[in-house]
Amino acid sequence: MACPSRARRLSDCSAIILFILLGAPTAGMAQTTDPLLFKNDSGFEAKLHFQAGLNLVAEGNLFWTLSDTFARTADYDPDKGWVESYLKPGISLSQALTPTLTLYGKASAVASYTRGTDAYDIGQTGRITLEEGYIGIQKRFDNLAKLDFSIGPRELRLGTGMLIANGGSSGFERGALKFGPRKAWEMAAISQAKLGDVSATAFYLDPNEMPSTDNENELAGIDVRYDGKGGGFAGVSFVNVLSSNSSYPKAASQGIGPPTVIPGARDGLNAINFYAHSGPLKHRFGTAYFALDGAIETNNKNDMFAWGGHFQVGHIWTDMRWLPSLTYTYKTFSGDNPNTPEQERFDPLYYDGSPSTWATGSKSSMTFINSNVRAHELAFNLKPSPRDSITLRYAHIRANELRSPIQFGQATRFEIAGGDNIVAGVTDAHLADDFFLEYSRVVTPNSFLTAGLSASLPGKGLDLAAGRDLPVWYGGFVNLVINY
């Protein structure tokens, strides 16, 4: 799809400006000093931080043109192009009070904007918001033991990011939908104790939700983790939702009729998440690794039992040119069984939605959150040089429960199937097949260029839901990110 000429001109000008700011990359790519460390004296350290990004996006046949069937009055244009950008300046300070006691803190902000109209029909908008603003104190006992406490807006990620990773919301009125530059929680109280290879983290979290969709979520819990010397790790997390106004859909009996919306159903959720990663396992043909994650969710307030997880195995041929690697991932998340009165829909909470972690598919991840879906995914990577990387990803995505809500939120829909019966979800499990080709280049030690092309082929489940053969949803992007 051709991009709007206005967006193309903006991209060209921005690329020239960024090239001037960055300068030509040096041959060795070496950086011996930190240019943003402006004070380091007598136990006091002050450092500036800076991130910026510019992203040009084009999409065709968005959401497989399902809007032509289920939202005809919305006048939604499925072909779009937009430019999104963000700036993220910050400063961190630390002061050694004694040889083993350190006071520290960090403050940062995000300014983001979308020019044009994005996939969710929002554009010409952006916001400036506080990102980080925490203060902490750390006590070290020796090289193996320490205590740490901090309070204020900051990032926190548990395990592999299955449930707790992305504390901030972007897109919609805040702009920068694809970039998602906000990661910090609006408020976080984090206490950590570490002894040798074992650490325990207790936390209270208030997500940085958008004012238009603030469901007043609050969470607390604990994580215990072991980090092996070879790079592997394993742990378990417990998360309790202290309060929430977030709703759940409940499938109609036998899947006939619209789902019932249960207000505040997330309130009181308990989740146990276990995770393990082997780290690199070297052998005669190269290096392999495997990872295993699982979670169980219960809630006595609405008789809930849900589950989800994934298994991943990967291999790098370290003796071959371009270091080829292949990764296979199987993901599965329970859906609500329309034949039972209980709630079985998995709640993915605040998961990491990047393609290499917990996003299910490429295009499809914008529609199917990690609930009532399962997927087989393959990723093949080549590194033609230390600065260049090419990755091809494929995902085969299916529903776990038929006639049950697939997604709830901006893409809620109903299937008309068989006379006057309204069925939520799909009557065939095959949802989509996604392909994603991505190229990344390290331009300088602090600037990164990424370009990608992707396509999603609708499955039989979506075709039956729409009552027609749906087109391929395709798109592409190119972005530049600066990170100091």
What is the percent of the chain with per-residue pLDDT over 90, rounded to a whole number?
A: 80
Looking at residue 5, its pLDDT comes to 39
pLDDT in tens, 232-281: 999 999 999 999 999 998 998 988 888 888 999 999 999 999 999 999 99
- For residue 6, the surrounding DSSP H or E stretch is helix 5-22
Across 431-461, b (16+ Cβ under 10 Å) vs e yields bbbbbbebebbbbeebbbbbebebbbbbbeb
From 204, 188, 179, select the one nearest 85 (Cα to Cα).
179
Residue 16's pLDDT band (cuts 50, 70, 90): very low
**Separation between Cα atoms, residue 43 and residue 31, nearest integer Å:** 24
**Separation between Cα atoms, residue 325 and residue 313, nearest integer Å:** 11
pTM of the full structure? 0.89
The average pLDDT across 209-237 equals 96
Residue 37, pLDDT > 60, answer yes
User: Is domain 45-483 in CATH 3.40.50.720, yes or no?
Assistant: no
**Separation between Cα atoms, residue 243 and residue 218, nearest integer Å:** 5
Six-digit token string for 317? 């041929």
The average pLDDT across 194-213 equals 96
Residue 28, pLDDT > 70, answer no
- Single-letter residue type at 373: V
If phi > 0 it is left, if psi is from -120 to 50 it is alpha, else beta; for residue 199 that is: beta
- 10 Å CB burial of residue 276 (0-12, 13-18, 19+) is middle
- 10 Å CB burial of residue 137 (0-12, 13-18, 19+) is middle
If phi > 0 it is left, if psi is from -120 to 50 it is alpha, else beta; for residue 61 that is: left
CB 162 within 8 A of CB 295: yes
Looking at residue 23, its pLDDT comes to 42
Looking at residue 258, its pLDDT comes to 83
Task: Give the count of beta carbons closer than 10 Å to the beta carbon of residue 318.
Answer: 14
Looking at residue 188, its pLDDT comes to 98
If phi > 0 it is left, if psi is from -120 to 50 it is alpha, else beta; for residue 403 that is: left
Domain ranges of the chain: 45-483
Task: Give the count of beta carbons closer than 10 Å to the beta carbon of residue 475.
Answer: 23
pLDDT in tens, 102-143: 999 999 999 999 999 999 999 999 999 999 999 999 999 987
Residue 200's pLDDT band (cuts 50, 70, 90): very high
